[in-house]
C-alpha cells in the first residue's frame, strides 16, 4: 500500500518536521509513505476574489499534476465528512480490501482547494470546523493515518 500526501508549501518548523518524521518511521512497517510538496503561490495579504481564485488555481494545477488516475484521493476540506478514528480506520481497510493500494491525501494552501481538486477527490474529509495551519494539519493527519493502522491491527495504541 502507498500512502501519499500532496501538500502546498514547504514545512519550515523543525518541531513539525520531527513529529512527522517519527510517525513516518512508524508507518514504514505498514505502507510506503511519502509527502509531495508543491510550491505555494506568492501573494500579497489583501487579495481580491479574482486574485484569490488565481492563486488557488495555480496551486490546484500543481496539486493535480501530482495525482495519478489510479489514486484514491481524500481532500481535506472544512466542509468534508467528519469521521471518528475508528470509522477512518475501517475506511482505509475497506479501500485496500477493494483494490485501492494507492491512497492520496491533499492538503491545500492557506486559501483552500479549488473546485477542480475537490472534483478529482473521491471523498472529502474534515477534522472539524476549526481552521488549522496546513503545517499542523500535516502532523495531525500523519498521526491519524498511523492510528488507523494501529486500530486495524488491534493495537492498544488507540486507547
Rounded CA separation 34/50 (Å): 33
Is residue 76 part of an annotated ligand binding site? Answer: yes
Long-range pairs of 15-22 with CB within 8 A, sequence gap ≥ 24: 16/135, 16/136, 16/138, 16/139, 19/139, 19/142, 19/143, 20/138, 20/139, 20/142
Is residue 108 part of an annotated ligand binding site? Answer: yes
Are 126 and 82 spatial neighbours (Cβ–Cβ below 8 Å)?
yes
Annotated binding site for S-adenosyl-L-methionine: 76, 108
Annotated binding site: 76, 108
Amino acid at each position: 500500500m502507498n500512502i501519499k500526501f500532496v501538500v502546498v508549501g514547504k514545512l519550515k518548523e523543525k518541531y513539525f518536521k520531527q513529529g512527522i518524521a517519527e510517525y513516518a518511521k512508524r508507518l514504514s512497517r505498514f505502507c510506503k509513505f511519502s509527502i509531495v510538496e508543491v510550491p505555494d503561490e506568492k501573494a500579497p495579504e489583501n487579495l481580491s476574489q479574482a486574485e484569490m481564485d488565481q492563486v488557488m488555481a495555480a496551486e490546484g494545477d500543481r496539486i493535480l499534476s501530482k495525482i495519478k488516475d489510479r489514486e484514491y484521493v481524500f481532500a481535506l476540506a472544512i466542509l468534508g465528512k467528519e469521521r471518528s478514528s475508528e470509522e477512518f480506520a475501517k475506511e482505509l481497510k475497506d479501500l485496500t480490501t477493494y483494490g485501492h493500494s494507492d491512497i492520496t491525501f491533499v492538503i491545500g494552501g492557506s486559501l483552500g482547494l479549488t473546485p477542480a481538486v475537490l472534483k478529482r477527490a473521491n471523498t472529502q474529509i474534515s477534522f472539524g470546523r476549526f481552521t488549522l495551519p496546513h503545517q499542523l494539519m500535516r502532523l495531525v493527519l500523519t498521526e491519524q493515518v498511523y492510528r488507523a493502522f494501529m486500530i486495524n491491527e488491534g493495537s492498544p495504541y488507540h486507547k
